Structure 1
Amino acid sequence: MSADILPNWENLVKKQLKTEDIYSILKKENLEGIDVKPFYSEVQKPLANLPKVEENTHLVARYHESLEEDVFAFILDHNVENLEQKTIFVNNKDLAGHISPKEEDQYFSLIDVFNENEGTIDDQLAKELLSKDFRRNICVDISLHQNAGAAIYQQLGMALAKTKELAEAYGAEILNKLIFRIAVGGNYFFEMAKLRAFKIVFNQLSKEYGLNETPYIFAETSLRNKAVADNENNLIRSTLELASAMIAGADAVFSNNYLVNRSTDNSEEISFKQQIVLAYESIINVFEDASNGSYYVEDITRQIAEKSWALFVETEEAGGYLELLKQGIVQKKIYDHAVEEQEWVEEGKIKLIGVNLYPKLDVKRSIDDLYSEKEIKAVRWAEMFE
């Protein structure tokens, strides 16, 4: 938008709103503490193009025999023979222990070695995974944090803190052996900025060790905004989450079943085909950094990166991630944000069609029934009304 148009636009809005103070009226509140402007004419400092590891985003399905012909990447929970031509994301530590890769770069581990509620690392498991000839050996899983109600900057700050714990325990070379499992929520542009911001802060952390690494991001749809009795809306929400992840440059995407707490062969197939439609019809899985240059996305990316890095530094100065887990501080930070978020749902500031907007059921549970400040656990917003 050119400079000569801006005053006319501002004057028009002032006239329509009958006030000179248009920005306080148009400002939209958010729980992340991010300053969002009503319009953007520039960005403070343009960000460099943010690369991803894979050339094209992997479209990942939960393994099913009927999908073998059409799917190239699977999440695997049990042993399956003759998958040499597939990319495999191993989701079971017993299975990982028995795998001997026949192809270079075929296997990725989705196994997290952190015991979140105990504040420890499973050292034996970590060493076993690192001994494997996998392309990526250890997963840093922060999908739980998102589904438990952590703020975006908390998710990223904690991901960095977990990474630092691993680097200190097993050496800086572990940085290019990690895969980050991140749940993508329904705040479309913020979640896009989240993945982009993580690339910035992870690269900054790697430079502290004299490296220049890009994180491998495995993005999956969130459980937090899904409802048991609202399947069609679940499907729409997860489609937008997948689009956000692909545009942001995730290396792999996975759609959790849109049917909550149950699964059918048909629902598994539909959940995967969401990715197919987005990738083949919109071709958004091939771009490296599609939102680069958007003033809005660039600005919130920068703000999220700064807040995430600040939380990481604060965590390190306080003793590190594991120490704060043992003290219950990490759990309490997530709890405080999750409860505030749930209150927004209860008050209708966050709207879920069929749940708190045009509800199908007249049920309400208390926040105390859902959350515990001593435990990191996944809670769906809709559970309050189910």
Structure 2
Amino acid sequence: MSFIENKLEDWEMLVKKQLKTDYIYEILSKDNLENIIVKPYYQNNSDTKILPKVEESTHLVAEYQDGLDEQAFAFLLNENVEGLDEKAIFINNPDLSEHILTEESNRYCSLIDVFSDDKNAEIKEHLAGELLSKAFERQICIDVSLHQNAGASIIQQLSFALAKSKELVEKFDSEILEKLVFRFAIGSNYFFEIAKIRAFKYLFNQLSKEFEKDLIPYIFAETSFRNKAKNDAENNLIRSTLELASAMIGGADAVFSNDYKIENQTELSKEISFKQQIVLAYESIINVFEDATSGSYFVEDITQQFAEKSWKLFLEIEEKGGYLQFLKSGEIQKMIFEQAVKEQNWVEEGKIKLIGVNLYPKLEKKKSVEELYDFNEIKAVRLAEMFE
């Protein structure tokens, strides 16, 4: 049996006929906050390759609770816990850097960022030194989850992660690249967030090659607070489930679900939040694939766009002195502020829809943009705060 190979023009003629218009791209195209070109349909893109993970399967990380020892392999610790055996441990508290108790049977990674994200920006060398002395698999975290929760674009998040990496190389030499964990918060734009993780793998690998290495980034992905609301907390469960799926499909090495309740959190809500991951992993096995969307024309295309735009912004930051200098000058704060305000305005206008916030029901606005955001500060702001 032979198949007829259709050209792009053939598809265009068919769509024009079905929609009864010659202006199909105007009708089918939609704006997005990233200024990424999203086509209504795609032709075969043969320039694809598998983007590997560090871990064989994505770790499902739980905040430590009594009783979860048998159900979870990986834990996020905010305080010392004794008796854990054959676990992957993610240290989340800077106060533990000196006192964490390590067991030989466990694997340890740090989620402690050594950057101060304010106008007195610096690398905390003492803290970095303590962490580097630990027998962890990965001692230093580059955290851009705050940037996402503050309203930074995907392109900004990726370029900031690269720029922070470059700062560490300049301070500690290129061997530091092998000791990093990258912490990302995953937003609600499902395919864009898959592409974000994939694009960062391209970008970090490219950066490592500048220092004669060929490295894969270790990516710890967690659910965002940006799109969560106090009202109708069950809607947050749906949002975070999609975010976890994006992270696993994109190829994160570890995923963590923050509590779906913004207020009145309980041990049960923490457990439910973690078990979202178990359902996703065990029912769909998406945590075991190395690169599930490789070969998807759409995802490959937007991955490439994110990578190119982020690398360009990274180079611009480097030309102006690097991440810390850009932070001290207030430029990074301004960039995030402008992007965050644009996103908030889209929510207010209804271009971004949040069920139970600006849709079903539509709540009344209670706070202004000026009350929520400060162009001098990188701070987490939930989009729903305007209506709460």
Whether the 8 Å CA contact 2:89–2:106 is kept in 1: the answer is: no
2: CA distance between counterparts of 1:81 and 1:100?
A: 8
Whether the 8 Å CA contact 1:105–1:135 is kept in 2: the answer is: no
Identity in percent: 65
The corresponding residue for 2:142 is 140
Whether the 8 Å CA contact 2:63–2:77 is kept in 1: the answer is: yes
1: CA distance between counterparts of 2:4 and 2:335?
A: 43
Report the AA paired with residue 64 of structure 1.
Answer: Q
What are the within-5 Å matches in structure 2 for residues 87-166 of structure 1? 87-103=88-104, 106-117=107-118, 118-166=120-168
| TM-aligned CA deviation for residue 299 of structure 1 | 0.2
What are the within-5 Å matches in structure 2 for residues 151-190 of structure 1? 151-190=153-192
1: CA distance between counterparts of 2:163 and 2:109?
A: 22
What are the within-5 Å matches in structure 2 for residues 208-287 of structure 1? 208-287=210-289
Report the AA paired with residue 83 of structure 2.
Answer: N
Query: Is 1:70 the counterpart of 2:63 in the alignment?
Result: no
What are the within-5 Å matches in structure 2 for residues 32-71 of structure 1? 32-43=34-45, 46-71=47-72
1: CA distance between counterparts of 2:356 and 2:185?
A: 23
2: CA distance between counterparts of 1:175 and 1:366?
A: 42
| TM-aligned CA deviation for residue 2 of structure 1 | 6.3
Whether the 8 Å CA contact 1:2–1:41 is kept in 2: the answer is: no
2: CA distance between counterparts of 1:319 and 1:359?
A: 47
Whether the 8 Å CA contact 1:104–1:135 is kept in 2: the answer is: no
The corresponding residue for 2:357 is 355
| 1:143-202, Cα deviation, whole Å (9 max, x unpaired) | 000000000010000000000001110110000100000000000000000000000000
Change (3 A) 1:6 1:316: closer
Change (3 A) 1:24 1:217: same
| TM-aligned CA deviation for residue 99 of structure 1 | 2.3
2: CA distance between counterparts of 1:311 and 1:287?
A: 30
Change (3 A) 1:233 1:125: same
| 1:94-139, Cα deviation, whole Å (9 max, x unpaired) | 2121124332661110000100012111110011101111011011
Whether the 8 Å CA contact 1:223–1:380 is kept in 2: the answer is: yes
| TM-aligned CA deviation for residue 313 of structure 1 | 0.3
Whether the 8 Å CA contact 1:109–1:179 is kept in 2: the answer is: yes
| TM-aligned CA deviation for residue 5 of structure 1 | 7.1
Whether the 8 Å CA contact 2:97–2:127 is kept in 1: the answer is: no
In structure 1, list runs of 5 or more residues that go unmatched. none
* C-alpha RMSD over aligned residues: 1.5
Whether the 8 Å CA contact 2:87–2:106 is kept in 1: the answer is: no
Whether the 8 Å CA contact 1:195–1:248 is kept in 2: the answer is: yes
2: CA distance between counterparts of 1:316 and 1:4?
A: 45
| 1:34-91, Cα deviation, whole Å (9 max, x unpaired) | 1110001122x62321001000100000000111121111000111111132111001
Query: Is 1:22 the counterpart of 2:20 in the alignment?
Result: no
Whether the 8 Å CA contact 1:62–1:76 is kept in 2: the answer is: yes
The corresponding residue for 2:85 is 84
| 1:323-376, Cα deviation, whole Å (9 max, x unpaired) | 011110000000000000111111000011111112363233110010000000
Normalised by the length of structure 2, the TM-score is 0.96
Whether the 8 Å CA contact 2:113–2:143 is kept in 1: the answer is: yes
1: CA distance between counterparts of 2:197 and 2:116?
A: 24
Report the AA paired with residue 81 of structure 2.
Answer: V
In structure 2, list runs of 5 or more residues that go unmatched. none
| TM-aligned CA deviation for residue 18 of structure 1 | 3.2
Q: For 2:165, what is the secondary structure of its paired residue?
A: helix
